[in-house]
Chain A
Amino acid sequence: MLQISLWKRILIFGLCLLGIIAALPNAFYTQVEKYNDAAQAIEGGALETTEIKQALDGWIAWMPSNLVNLGLDLRGGAHLLAEVHLSDVYTDRIDAMWPDVRDALREVRAEVGTVRRTDSPVGELHVRISRPENIAQAVESVAELARPLVSLTAVGANDIEVDSEGDRVIIRLTEEEMAATDERTMQQSLEIVRRRVDEVGTREPSIQRQGRDRVIIQVPGIGSAEELKELIGQTAKLTFHPVVRRTSSGLDNPGAGNVIYPSLDEPGQFYVLERTAVVSGDQLTDAQPDFDQNGLPAVTFRFNPAGARKFGDYTAENIGAPFAIVLDGEVISAPTIQDHIPGGSGIITGRFTVEESNRLAVLLRAGALPAGMNFLEERTVGPELGQDSIDAGKVACVIAFAAVLIFMFASYGLFGLFANAALLINLVLIFGALSLIGATLTLPGIAGIVLTIGMAVDANVLVFERIREELNTAKGPARAIERGYERALTAILDANVTTLIAAVILFVMGSGPVRGFSVTLGIGIITSVFTAIFLTRLLVVIWFTWQRPKQISL
């Protein structure tokens, strides 16, 4: 009757053993964490210092070393939700198109007359021609600039569409091009943010895209969200422009093809610059914090060969003329070109502090963000608060556990002990599973575990209550146990599936800490069903076949 085949027994105990092994590293959290860091350092080509060796000795190499990640609310750190201004890039794309459009229209100058760029909404380029009767021809020659898109989803689409309105040619990006641009912008933004965060070298930062234009950035161990914002909030677009003139009013009309930018450190000083940059920051190969000849903090940089050539040519041709170094729409400095600069390296001076020059160098090395960002949400958790939460969670867990264990033993005696053993294993399995899938434990996640402790006994309670009932009717304890398990099964499954549905929906719809909670809850449901209907049953069966009691009491 009460028989469980050998392979089933092996499977059940094997799974429990696996869970224990997978959960074990968490009992030695700091050691294993150091071990992992050291192993990673070695893999990255670091030399085996005594410190690294010590760390490697702190854990057994053939054991798994996966840990439960601690969420920001437990470890401390900063969380940001940023929104990328995707339309910034449209403007850049359209601006970059203007020289080509101008050249194309110049070729047909005899027909269309003179051309002039006029103001236009974002993502469009408007060009006025002096002979509107030939607008069709202007449209046609500009349309030749359109290039087909290379992508699976946009077969047959071009990057721009050309239209006319009165005497104006209107060039705008197509929907497909905008979608492709958005995608590129997001990928680039993620990459740049990642590089910048990596430069700071904190542990396990998490940078994830969310939805169409959002990025979630979580960096454990960083002092505050402010620091993080300064690091990733700046576009860090560095450009070098010829200076047209200086002015003291930002409202001046800069004239066609020019822009007006304020000075970074001289209030009230503005520069009129040519819109088209000579070289830009994306052609930098290196940037380092340094000091200028007066001993003030500065940043030195080096261009790649193409950038160096352009920069060299320009400086050779314009000795004596001022040129402006512009960072994110502000003129950092506008030195006069003293000499031809052939090597492609230079220095940026300004009124920097040492930290600022350090940060600027990091930003320049990592590259500019393709578009600006603003921040919709930010959270900073101090490391002490995180530690307090862990401690409080531990205390609560232990007390909850002890209370439930005592309660179960008091209610069901020996069977209560079996349930308690299963409960312990259940907790271990939860940690094992969390480690294996690399889930993140958050404060609500701990609450989820504590709740699971309470609910995990439910399946056992269902079975035990059922056995009690069956003892009154069935013939003999063995039969009662068997029927108890059989009959309680549908209730256990139905009840847990419904809770699992709630957990899954929480996971799909939720975000951040709520997700962490749903993961522990979901795993807890699965492990508690496993321990209740397999493990406790196996324990009961082993005990029963060993003792062969004439009657059992529950």
Chain B
Amino acid sequence: MRLKLVPERTDWDFFRFARLAMLVSTALTLLSVLLVFLIGLNFGIDFRGGTTVRTLSSQAVDVGAYRERISPLGLGDVVISEVFDISFGPDEHVASIRFEAQEGDESVAAETVIRLQQALRVLDPEMEFPLVESVGPKVSGELIQKAVIAVLAAIAAVLFYIWVRFEWQFSVGAVAALIHDVVLTLGIFALLQIKFDLAIIAALLTIVGYSLNDTVVLFDRVRENLRRHKKPELMKVLNLSINETLSRTVMTSATTLLALLALFVFGGDVIRSFVFAMIWGVIVGTYSSVFVATNILNRLGVKRDWSKPQKDAGTKFTSDGS
């Protein structure tokens, strides 16, 4: 008896919900943009400058007491949060303290960190500081810029690749799905106020890769079916392609999610937000390749006459496979 996540043969009508899906996707995308602008992302020190200190103590973390010790130092906006993880022992209590880059400091203020550590050691002389990170305002500005450029460059490169391999309509569909995924990820980060740092950019780019991976597999099948079935209308071909690849789509998403969930639960708190971004990205990416990319392709229409291969940019690297 085999495990089957979806029946071997499906004939579900994915376009029945096309309008609804488009509506929901558009609404969520707009909402995400709104959230990012209204609430804003909870930028980590990589992007806003400042210092984070991780504390490790054998005594329970009392955020109030910590704050009381730290506030006389006049560090401005200080965020103190306790960190939980299943790997911590009963006598391991971890907190993360973040404060802004101090006024007028071009470089990183070492004394500030030392003063903070001294202040906290009053509470627990044995307290350890396993992680201290400081980023100056000069670098953080550049990091944002670089990150944005990296994401845009990735999208542009992929747009170009798909345009070369398929047709421009596919390219638009794939990139729309891609932007949908990235924006929705930014949205959830703004909504839940999860720390957004450099590693999240890596996660975003992975989402870009994953979302495309899914979309491209689907498009590959669409291209093949368009050649095979010349008569039926485009929507039917698209729907057939989705159904045919559905089993694979679900399988791959499931294995990837399994691996990511293991990492989310057992991988430690340091990379949890990073893994969260990827989990979210896989879910959204799977959804978007089925509902967003194909929908856009359906609206844009595709040239159906594939009988003149010399004019088809999309077929020049593929074998007919017969």
Contact = CB atoms under 8 A, between A and B. Distances in A.
Contacts of A379: 131-134
Given A377-B134, A455-B210, A461-B248, A506 B267 contact: no
Contacts of A411: 2-5, 251
A451 B257 CA distance: 9
Given A376-B135, A451-B206, A457 B252 contact: yes
B62 to A, nearest CB: 22
Nearest to A514: B202
Residue among A404, A468, A487, A498 with max Cβ neighbours from chain B (10 Å):
A498
A384 B244 CA distance: 50
Nearest to B139: A376
B90 interface: no
Nearest to B136: A376
Given A81-B139, A393-B267, A450-B259, A495 B212 contact: yes
B220 A494 contact: yes
Residue among B5, B114, B247 with max Cβ neighbours from chain A (10 Å):
B247
Nearest to B133: A379
Contact of B3 (A83, A401, A404, A410): A410
B192 interface: no
Contacts of A377: 108, 134-136, 139
A194 interface: no
A374 interface: yes
Interface in B107-162: 107-108, 110, 113-114, 128-136, 138-139, 143, 146, 149-150, 153-154, 157-158, 161-162
A441 interface: no
Interface string A494-512: 1111111111011001111
Contact of A491 (B220, B247, B270): B220
Contacts of B134: 225, 377-379
A453 B259 contact: yes
A417 interface: no
Nearest to A501: B157
A337 interface: no
B262 interface: yes
Residue among A457, A511, A514, A517 with max Cβ neighbours from chain B (10 Å):
A514
A97 interface: no
A444 B210 contact: no
A291 B74 CA distance: 42
Contact of A392 (B202, B266, B321): B266
Contacts of B220: 490-491, 494-495
A465 B247 contact: yes
Contacts of B107: 83, 374-376
A495 B216 contact: yes
Interface string A507-548: 001111110011001000000000000000000000000000
Contacts of A483: 321
Contacts of B209: 498-503, 521
B271 interface: yes
Contact of B136 (A375, A451, A506, A513): A375
Chain B interface size band reads: 35 or more
Contacts of B245: 465
Interface residues of A, number: 81
A396 interface: yes
Contacts of A380: 129, 131-133
A159 to B, nearest CB: 30
Contact of B210 (A408, A491, A499): A499
B121 to A, nearest CB: 15
Given A377-B136, A443-B271, A490-B318, A499 B2 contact: no
Given A408-B255, A453-B259, A505-B150, A494 B216 contact: yes
Nearest to A411: B3
B313 to A, nearest CB: 14
Contacts of B216: 491, 494-495, 498
A501 B271 contact: no
Given A498-B162, A506-B150, 15 more contacts: A224-B132, A407-B258, A411-B4, A444-B202, A454-B258, A454-B260, A462-B217, A465-B245, A487-B224, A490-B321, A494-B219, A498-B213, A505-B157, A512-B198, A513-B202
30 contacts: A379-B133, A382-B130, A384-B130, A392-B87, A396-B265, A407-B3, A443-B268, A444-B199, A444-B202, A450-B260, A451-B259, A451-B278, A454-B252, A455-B252, A457-B252, A461-B248, A462-B248, A465-B245, A468-B8, A491-B216, A495-B212, A502-B206, A503-B209, A505-B153, A506-B202, A509-B153, A511-B143, A513-B199, A514-B201, A553-B2
Q: Which 8 A-B pairs have the closest CB atoms?
A: A382-B130, A454-B259, A454-B256, A392-B268, A502-B209, A499-B209, A509-B150, A400-B262
